[in-house]
Structure formats: C-alpha cells, structure tokens
Amino acid sequence: MKNIVLTGFMGAGKSSVGRKLAERLGMSVVDTDELIERSAGMRIFEIFSRYGEQHFRELEKKAVAEASKLESYVIITGGGVVLREENVKNLRKNGIIIYLHAKPDVIYSRIKHETHRPLLQVKEPTKKIKELLEFRAPYYANNDFMVDTSDLTVEQVVEEIVKKIKKP
Ligand code: S3P
C-alpha cells in the first residue's frame, strides 16, 4: 500500500491526526521532524538557533528522502516540507499527499501556549501565521486532496481521510 503523507501548516493537526490515522488503519507512522532530531541529536529549536533555517531545510530534505523510501507508512511532515519541490516529488513517488488546512485564528489558538516552534516565537505570531500561510498557499495546493480541520475533531478528520482514500 502507498504511504499516506500529511502536509500542512504548524498546528493544522498533522501529528495528532497522523498518529490516530495510523492506528485506525494498522499502519506504521514516521514523523520527518523526529527523524531530523534523531539524526542531529538535537531539538528542532536548537538546530534553528545554532545553524539557522537553511541548515534545517537541508536536514529536512534528507529526512524526507529517507521517509519517501518507506512503504505503507503514515508520513507526518513538518510545515515547511512542501517548500522544496524535490521533497514533494519524493513523497509523491510512493504516497498520497493529503493537505490538512486550518484557519489562521484556529492555528493561533492551537499553538499559542507552545514554545517549540522557532518560526512562531515572534512578537506578533498572528501576523506571522497569516503571512506564512499566504506565502505557502500555492505550495500546500500541491496535494491529492485536502481536509479543513478548523472545525473538526481529530477523530472526524481521520474518518474524513479514511472515507476519501477508500473511494475507488
Ligand atoms: C516548520 C514546522 C515545524 C518544524 C519546523 C519548521 C515550518 O513542524 O518542521 O519548526 O516551517 O512550518 P510542524 O509543522 O510539525 O510544527
């Protein structure tokens, strides 16, 4: 079976949906951020502050290439994975790409108490979320189908995905 790849902005629900979805379908799960942290021996935040975003993106490219070789996995990606065409190409070779969307205010309410995402540790996170979402919209549009998670529970998103992938 093909991999199921979850893309989308920080706070769109990729991690919680990915884990539940894998459980529901009896699939294994891998998270590209975790692969990066494991191989670098550092948290994402530390990689950004020590070496900068570009270095992180290089590590991310390697993690994506590694994850793309798997089969029958749910692949949870970091929010910026889609920015490199090569990443999407790799993931698509053996995977269905599902974009999880969420509205900016919903994203903010989900992430406001979290501190592990370097890109959102700024003075005006709501403004930053809107700007990044707008810039990334055409990249996220590169998907096989999308689910708006704004008003759905994790379980509802999982069921939505299961319904869509089972359609002939
Ligand atoms: C990023 C999203 C993060 C992580 C890194 C950069 C982004 O992953 O990869 O902080 O550029 O959107 P999540 O989407 O899992 O938070």
Instruction: Ligand 1: list residues with CB < 6 Å.
Output: 10, 14, 33, 44, 78-80, 117-119
Contact 7, 92 (CB under 8 A): no
Please give the distance, rounded to the nearest whole angstrom, from the Cα atom of residue 142 to the centre of ligand 1: 18
Minimum-distance ligand 1 atom for the alpha carbon of 132: 12
pLDDT surpasses 90 at 166: no
Q: What pLDDT band is residue 168 in, cutting at 50, 70 and 90?
A: low
Asked whether residue 75 is assigned to any structural domain, the reply reads yes
Q: How far is the CA of 49 from the centre of ligand 1 (A)?
A: 14
**Position 161 in a domain:** no
pLDDT for residue 87 is more than 70 = yes
Report the domain count for the chain: 1
Supply the pLDDT for residue 167: 75
pLDDT tens sequence across 11-55? 999 999 999 999 999 999 999 999 999 999 999 999 999 999 999
Residue 121 belongs to a domain: yes
Q: Is the pLDDT of residue 8 over 80?
A: yes
What's the mean pLDDT in 93-119? 95
Q: Per residue in 112-154, pLDDT tens?
A: 999 899 999 999 999 999 999 999 999 999 999 999 999 999 9
**Residue 164 lies inside a defined structural domain of this protein:** no
CATH number of the domain where residue 149 is located: 3.40.50.300
Residue 165 forms part of a structural domain: no
Instruction: At 97, list the tokens.
Output: 């790409």
pTM greater than 0.85: yes
- Residue 166 belongs to some domain of the structure: no
| Ligand 1, pocket-test mutation among 119, 132, 134, 139, most atoms within 8 A of CB | 119
Q: What is the Å distance from ligand 1's center to 129 Cα? A: 12
Nearest residue by C-alpha to atom 3 in ligand 1: 78
Q: Mean pLDDT throughout 143-167?
A: 96
Q: To 10 degrees, the CA torsion angle through 129, 33, 17, 3?
A: 120
Residue 31 located in a structural domain: yes
DSSP string, the chain: --EEEEEE-TTSSHHHHHHHHHHHHT-EEEEHHHHHHHHHTS-HHHHHHHH-HHHHHHHHHHHHHHHHT-SSEEEE--TTGGGSHHHHHHHHHTEEEEEEE--HHHHHHHHTT----GGG-SS-HHHHHHHHHHHHHHHHT-SSEEEE-TT--HHHHHHHHHHHHH--
Rounded to the nearest whole angstrom, what is the distance from the C-alpha of residue 167 to the centroid of ligand 1?
30
For 18, 31, 152, the CA distances from 65, given in Å and listed in that order, are 19, 12, 31
- Classify burial at 1, counting beta carbons within 10 Å of its beta carbon; exposed 0-12, middle 13-18, buried 19 or more: exposed
Domain that holds residue 41: 3-156
Is 71 among the domain residues?
Answer: yes
* Ligand 1 geometric centre to CA of 141 (Å): 17
